[in-house]
Amino acid sequence: MGHFYITTAIDYANGEPHAGHAFEKIGADAIARYRRLRGDRVHFVIGMDEHGQSIPQEAARRGIEPAELVDELAGRFRAVWDSLGVSYDDFIRTTQPRHARAVTALVERVREAGDLYMGTYEGWYCVRCEAFRAEDELVDGRCPLHPDREIAWTEEDNWFFRLSRFRDPLLAHIEAHPDFIRPESRRNEIVRLLEGGLEDVSASRSRIPWGIPFPGTEDHTVYVWLDALTNYLSAIGFPDDAYREWWPADLHVIGKDITRFHCVIWPAMLLSAGIELPRSVWGHGFVSVEGGKISKSAGARLELEALVERHGPDAFRYFMLRETPWDGDRDFGSPARLLASFDERYNAELANDLGNLLNRVVAMVRKYREGRVPAGDDTELDEARRGALSGYHASMEALLLHRGAQAALDLVREANGFVDRSRPWDLARAERDEGAGQGALDASLGSLVRALAATAVMLTPFLPGKSRTLWEQLGGEEPVPSFDALEDRTAGLTGVAGGAVLFPRDDA
């Protein structure tokens, strides 16, 4: 048994959870669940970024204190992730004392390394990004990510981090560790950025009281990017030695718009502090409508609650991860097209392909074998099952989640075709009327149950609740077992149970 430490970007506490947040969380959750099914001991961390200039501004707009605002939003985010079955092990908040302690320790290590100095910054600052923007980054004089907000010219004395010192060490690390930044398109972007040279970056802010005090100063707070990134350490006990149980992180899952922070600034800070770098950073793409991210920052926004309620949380998870390449982007063109695509996937793949297969197989096992699951000899479907599992594992290990879901559905469709080709009802009639041996029918039914058992395990990362129901209807006990259980001839199943329709069709 191995161990696997996986994190997502922590969400900024200045708005409501949206489908863009959800895409990242359920994708990371699918990876965490897959690793557990492989037998790994997993530590999965999500959380909230609760400091920065925009927090007190939003709190003042609402007439409440910043602490009240972040407490309220943290509760809402957690409730949404719980409703979507996100199986996190820790929910880190940057306002927690354990986090402040870790940030202070990291800053002190970087200072001891000689990589902090006092300087003056002049430039454009986007409050929504909590980031400075170079002149050539602006579009029509505004932040490219927040064109609806004015950007402010800022001049202040700050502590600076000597990022420029780490260009060559970072390039060397990326070359020596090809999986450090994935997918390849993100790695290429970062390499080009590094080859163009690095400038030192601000590590503190003055006159921003809502934050962690910068060690050794009275009027500076730790810049929010440094504060937020340190959550990956604070969540596992840094600076105490206990953090080494999980560090280095096996995987940081982030959006492609924050790869610079995670693939340049964060590893540079760790190198300065003498801390091992994470093993891999995955920068996923975006789900968009009419060219705009489905997020609190974009005009093309669909309400998360309405999407989830349309066909239920599991179907929403499946749709998002099945429809959108985990290594690319997906633009639906219009809100209507997104909803139509959701309905099509739900009815065709979940209700028709998977749901009907389960109903047919359970009914036939009950009718022809009184509910008992036969072992039977191998059939062509068993070979297809083994091939599907092989392709599934390859896709999931490569973090190509959409292909993993496809492999599971390919098996479902192969099983449906096998029902039509093997015609168990004809085999049962021949067994009854002609005295034919029961081997052919046992082989047909046994291979169908094995295919559904494999499907239940394969789809658990995508459909955790419905996969459990599928497993129970096959006669299994909670929880859905690991992949090792599929080595058993009947996957430990002895008699089907049946139950309610797994995915009722929605023809509205």
Residue 307, φ and ψ in degrees, nearest 5: -65, -45
State how far the Cα of 212 lies from the Cα of 378, in Å rounded to an integer: 63
The three-class DSSP label of residue 182 is strand
What separation in angstroms does the CA of 321 have from each of 209, 249, 404, 435?
40, 23, 9, 49
Burial of 248 (0-12, 13-18, 19+ CB in 10 A): middle
The string over 43-52, giving b where at least 16 C-beta atoms fall within 10 Å of a residue's C-beta and e elsewhere, is: bbbbbbbbbb
Element (H, E) at 202: strand 201-202
Query: Do the beta carbons of residue 418 and residue 383 sit within 8 Å?
Result: no
State how far the Cα of 470 lies from the Cα of 211, in Å rounded to an integer: 48
**Residues in the chain, total:** 508
Residues sharing a CB contact under 8 Å with residue 274, sequence separation 6 or more, in sequence order: 109, 113
Amino acid, res. 178: P
**CA-wise closest residue to 193 among 287, 264, 144:** 264
Query: Which value, in Å, is the radius of gyration of the alpha carbons in the chain?
Result: 26
Cα-based torsion angle of the residue sequence 289, 290, 291, 292 in order, rounded to the nearest 10 degrees: -60
Q: Can you give 154-174 as a three-state secondary structure string?
A: EEEEEEEECHHHHHHHHHHHH
Q: Show the beta-strand stretches assigned E in 36-142.
A: 41-49, 90-93, 116-126, 131-133
* Residue bearing tokens 């190198």: 271
Q: At what angle do helices 313-323 and 335-345 cross, to 10 degrees?
A: 110
The string over 290-311, giving b where at least 16 C-beta atoms fall within 10 Å of a residue's C-beta and e elsewhere, is: eeebbbbbbebbbebeebbeeb
State how far the Cα of 355 lies from the Cα of 15, in Å rounded to an integer: 37
The three-class DSSP label of residue 102 is helix
- Residues marked active site are found at 18, 21, 126, 129, 143, 146, 293, 296
**CA-wise closest residue to 411 among 463, 452, 461:** 452
The three-class DSSP label of residue 302 is coil
Q: Which two tokens stand for residue 159?
A: 């502590």
